């Protein structure tokens, strides 16, 4: 299950990075589709883990949103040369 989650995160993140590099909207849709297919693969592996479809799609949709916003925040920090606070 750990390998499945690792592959799901890496594929989604890779597609989000490709979307940022190419400025093409279709990669965002592909990344979202990869997250939803990842949710279905996790359900097929262990049906009792996320039994309801709505909860499963919401949970993996939030993971997609978290990765998307993480990429946007890193790009924002680099674009405006803000850097990270010392600490």
| Residues 10-63 pLDDT 10s | 999 999 999 999 989 999 999 999 999 999 999 999 999 999 999 999 999 999
pTM: 0.84
Residue 87's pLDDT is: 53
Contacts with 27 (C-beta within 8 Å, 6 or more apart), sequence order:
15, 16, 18, 19
Boundaries of every domain in the chain: 2-79
């Amino acid at each position: 299950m750990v390998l499945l989650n690792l592959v799901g995160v890496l594929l989604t993140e890779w597609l989000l990075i490709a979307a940022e590099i190419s400025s093409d909207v279709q990669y965002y849709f592909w990344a979202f589709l990869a997250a939803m297919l990842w949710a279905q693969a996790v359900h097929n592996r262990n049906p009792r883990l996320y039994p309801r479809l709505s909860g499963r799609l919401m949970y993996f949709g939030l993971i997609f949103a978290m990765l998307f916003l993480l990429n946007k925040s890193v790009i924002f920090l680099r674009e405006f040369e803000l850097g990270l606070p010392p600490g």
